[in-house]
Amino acid sequence: MAFRVLIIGGTGQVGASVVRCLLAEPTCAEVVQINRRDVGPSADARLRHVTLDTSAASFGDAVAAIAREMGAHGEPFYGASCVGVGAGSMRWSEQALIALEVGVVGAFARGCRAGGIERFALLSAVGSSAKSRLRYVRVMGLKEEAVQAVGFPRLAIFRPGIIAGNAHTPGYVAWLGRIVPGKFGVIEQDDIARAFVAEFVRSATDGATVIYENRQMKQLAAAV
Three-state SS for 195? Answer: helix
pTM more than 0.75? yes
Domain count, the chain: 1
User: Where in the sequence is the domain holding 168, given as residue range(s)?
Assistant: 3-222
Tens of pLDDT, residue by residue, the chain (224 residues): 899 999 999 999 999 999 999 999 999 999 999 999 998 888 899 999 999 999 999 999 999 999 999 999 999 999 999 998 765 666 778 899 999 999 999 999 999 999 999 999 999 999 999 999 888 889 999 999 999 999 999 999 999 998 875 555 445 444 454 556 668 788 889 999 999 999 999 865 567 899 999 999 999 999 87
Q: The domain spanning residue 113 has which CATH number?
A: 3.40.50.720
93 C-beta neighbours (distance < 10 Å), count:
9
Cα–Cα nearest to 146, from 116, 182, 106: 106
149 C-beta neighbours (distance < 10 Å), count:
11
DSSP E strand boundaries for the chain: 3-8, 28-35, 47-51, 77-81, 119-123, 154-158, 162-164, 186-188, 209-212
Cα–Cα nearest to 109, from 56, 57, 160, 64: 64
